[in-house]
Amino acid sequence: MKTWKEVPPGAVITEPGSSRKFKTGSWRAFRPKWIPENCIQCLFCWIYCPDMSVKVKDGKRTEFDYDYCKGCGICALECPGKKGNKAIVMEEEGK
Amino acid sequence: MHRKVAANGNEAIANAMRIANPDVCGAYPITPATEIMQRFTTFVSNGKVKTEMVLAESEHSAMSACIGAAAAGGRVATATSSQGMALMWEMLFIASGLRLPIVMGMANRALSAPINIHGDHSDGMGARDCGWIHLYCENAQEAFDNMLMAFKLAEHMDVRLPVMVGMDGFITSHAIQTMEWIDDETAANFIGEYKSTNPLLDIKNPVSYGPLILADLYMEYRKAQEHVMSGVPKVVLDIAKEFEQISGRKYGLFEEYRLDDAEVAIVVMSSAAGTTKEIIDQFREKGIKVGLLKPRLFRPFPYAEVGEALKHLKAVAVLDRADCFGGSHGPLYVDIASALYNYAQRPVLINKIFGLGGRDYMPDHAEYVINELLQITKDGKVKSVKEYIGVRE
């Protein structure tokens, strides 16, 4: 840990993208579960995710990034699903 | 060429801001500082400065705009008073904690309730511990000089802290006095070019301002801030020396008036010091050794230097133009007492609260206080440590 002589003036962070080092996934109490068969690839989850925990490859969503997902559940709430079946459901961690 | 003019304190501060030519000015008008921004916005409209004026919806927003602009990498200035200062209060700590060199003129005014627009130090004293550097001025000349020096001080690479420059509302802000301008070019060269540190607008070197710092590091940041503050007096003196070369006017951490050989003294800030000096001269003519100490740099308070300057006296009266409700004494008294406490031999210290809400500080008030100090040196009796003067009993 830094001493008071080493901390940067004004607590300014000069290293870009350093928040990557801070894995917020450990905060999670509920875990979003992706059900690909109900997914219409609307990418609402990707747009609404307040972090960047919905990974998209070649225009299609893939698995969640659980290193950073805090389990807020916004993706599950916004998910339109397919024919009334959600493509994202929240499950309690540790169950 | 140094022009002698008739000007008031607001005009003095507005012109110092014009010379500094800030990149951004976020402001909201409030009596008695309104005229500072009124004059300054005229400079903006007339193209005398290149400042981006942000007319905010409140002082909280005005200071927030200043903080954003300073973090973006600009020279930033504003002005306020009283309730405006109170509304800024939350953001003042953010400006200092982020080490942003914002410069603010302050026409000191009483706080509500009851509502009062006149001069006292309640606003500045309320913000005394917010991490800003405080400079206080006796008159319009000092307001101009201190405001110019404030830019250089705030922006000094060993400082990078916000500075507020206080003068007494109406008494100094509005009363027209004789003062001397410094020509624009000399003054602008003295202040120098603004150098930004970690500007948000430098997109090649991205930075983040305002991160969450919890129990594992917060105390280290606070200690670092306290350490920077402790180095400020040296820079204040260096800048004052440089300023003397362009102006011929001397500034210290505080002013000592006939203090060296004095036996009793008054400590008082801002405009009341002028009246006090007159009365001191009258006592001196009678051979009575009276002096004055007028703090200029109020934060960081130069405890060691003030202690050395006052320790030889027999009795000292500290005059506060603000009170601390429920505290033992006025804010200035508490600092002077701290400066003297560790000396085995120290003067008897009394506290007078005066001039609240613009109540006149009259020559006979100074005379009354000096006579009380002289009585203490004779019989050692202190009738009361703290007393309101100029109040109807």
Q: How far is CA B378 from CA B263, B266, B371, B381, B385, in A?
A: 11, 17, 11, 8, 17
pLDDT tens digit sequence for B303-360: 999 999 999 999 999 999 999 999 999 999 999 999 999 999 999 999 999 999 999 9
| A4 in contact with chain B, both atoms CB, cutoff 8 A | yes
Angstrom distance (rounded) from CA B36 to CA B78: 9
Q: How confident is the model at residue A94 (pLDDT cuts 50, 70, 90)?
A: confident
The residue-averaged pLDDT of B375-390 equals 97
- What is the nearest CA distance from A1 to chain B, expressed in angstroms? 8
Q: B358: closest CA among B120, B9, B121, B8?
A: B120
| B350 Cβ contact partners less than 8 Å away, ≥ 6 residues apart | B315, B316, B317, B318, B372, B373, B376, B382, B384, B385, B386, B387
3-state secondary structure at position B163: strand
Instruction: Report the candidate in B255, B256, B278 with the shortest Cα–Cα distance to residue B363.
Output: B278
Closest CA of chain A from B296, distance in Å? 26
- Cβ–Cβ gap A7/B228 under 8 Å: no
Structural domains in chain B, CATH included, are 2-247 (3.40.50.970), 254-388 (3.40.50.920)
Check CB contact of B207 with chain A, cutoff 8 Å. yes
Tell me what pLDDT residue B140 has.
98
Q: A9 vs B197: CB contact, 8 Å cut-off? A: yes
Q: Is the ipTM of this complex over 0.85?
A: yes
The minimal CB distance from A7 to the residues B160, B197, B221 is found for B221
Candidates A4, A12, A18; nearest CB to B220: A4
Question: What are the tens digits of pLDDT across the range B83-133?
Answer: 999 999 999 999 999 999 999 999 999 999 999 999 999 999 999 999 999
Asked if B216 has any chain A CB less than 8 Å from its own CB, the reply is yes
Cα angle at B300 between B278 and B270, to 5 degrees?
20
Instruction: Report the length, in residues, of chain B.
Output: 393
- What's the pLDDT at B336? 98
Residues from chain A that touch B206, judged by Cβ atoms under 8 A, are 16
Q: How close does chain A come to B127, measured CA to CA in Å? A: 19
Taking residues B263-276, what's their average pLDDT?
98
Q: Mean pLDDT across chain B, nearest whole number?
A: 97
B3-42 residue pLDDT tens: 789 999 999 999 999 999 999 999 999 999 999 999 999 9
CA atoms within 13 A on the CB side of B106: 35
Which residues are within 8 A (CB) of B159 and not within 5 positions of it... i.e. 6 or more apart? B101, B133, B153, B228, B231, B232, B235
Given pLDDT bands bounded at 50, 70 and 90, which one contains residue B2? low
Partner residue facing B160 (CB), from A2, A6, A9 = A9
- The answer to whether residue B209 neighbours chain A at the CB level (below 8 Å) is yes
Rounded to two decimals, the pTM is 0.94
pLDDT tens for A35-87 read 999 999 999 999 999 999 999 999 999 999 999 999 999 999 999 999 999 99
The confidence score (pLDDT) of residue B5 equals 95
Predicted local distance difference test score (pLDDT) of residue A95: 77
A-chain residues within 8 Å CB-CB of B99?
9-10, 12
Beta strands in B155-309 (DSSP E): 163-168, 177-180, 254-257, 264-268, 290-295, 297-299
User: Which residues on B lie below 8 Å from A13 (Cβ)?
Assistant: 207-209, 211
Nearest Cβ partner of A12 from B209, B216, B227? B209
What pLDDT score was predicted for residue B231? Answer: 98
pLDDT digits (tens, 9 = 90+) for A10-20: 999 999 989 89
